[in-house]
Chain A
Amino acid sequence: QQQVKQSPQSLIVQKGGISIINCAYENTAFDYFPWYQQFPGKGPALLIAIRPDVSEKKEGRFTISFNKSAKQFSLHIIDSQPGDSATYFCAAPFGGSNYQLIWGAGTKLIIKP
């Protein structure tokens, strides 16, 4: 059974601080690593994704860092805002489609004003 291990389970960060969430995977069918953001009562929404022809991808305040040899990738949020408070999931593809994903258990992020 493929696994994606995500840490920490929960994270409290002061407004303006840096939030860091880590993921480790075993094997993947495709090189595609997304991060999803989920608010209560809503489905997950794609936040940012990386294809590891690069080791880092930045979109606004969000950055994915990828270490292929260690099979790890992480999400960094700089200048964290209260509106970033949500549950974040990393995922990795395991089947015949990029979106046949196995997911981490999630990190509940709380940004304190």
Chain B
Amino acid sequence: DTGVSQNPRHKITKRGQNVTFRCDPISEHNRLYWYRQTLGQGPEFLTYFQNEAQLEKSRLLSDRFSAERPKGSFSTLEIQRTEQGDSAMYLCASSYRGKLFFGSGTQLSVL
């Protein structure tokens, strides 16, 4: 068990391009969360899954954002037509037995 793994660690893209991030949760963790964090702020909830079902989506998650968790294992977060305001750290977390475990995040920079 190596913890929650996120790839890539850093992503630099040009405005208007699509990007996709991957999260591999800790095995046996049935809940998976996506958060976004900007510099100097606390994380903001985006969405969460229980197994493969996406149960909740924040209003922050515009229609340019889509998250999936096929087969209830890894998850992907895609941002289409990126904007400079999308620049942030995207954090994934999984939970089991009362504890939430975060990955190290993907730092997105949109130029």
Contact = CB atoms under 8 A, between A and B. Distances in A.
Given A96-B56, A100-B48, A105 B100 contact: no
Nearest to B95: A99
B41 A105 contact: yes
Interface of A is mostly: loop
Contacts, number: 59
Contact of B43 (A42, A44, A45, A46): A44
B48 A41 contact: no
A34 B102 CA distance: 14
A106 B41 CA distance: 6
Interface residues of A, number: 23
Interface of B is mostly: strand
Interface in B82-111: 91, 93, 95, 98-105
Contact of B45 (A34, A41, A44, A102): A102
Given A96-B55, A106-B41, A43 B31 contact: no
B42 A42 contact: no
Contacts of B55: 96-97
B74 interface: no
A41 B105 CA distance: 8
B56 to A, nearest CB: 6
B10 to A, nearest CB: 10
B48 A99 contact: yes
Contacts of A98: 95, 98
B44 interface: yes
Contacts of A96: 55-56
A101 B43 CA distance: 9
A81 B57 CA distance: 39
Given A45-B102, A102-B45, A97 B40 contact: no
A39 to B, nearest CB: 10
Interface of A: 4, 6, 34, 41-46, 89, 91, 95-106
Interface of B: 4, 31, 33, 40-45, 48, 55-56, 91, 93, 95, 98-105
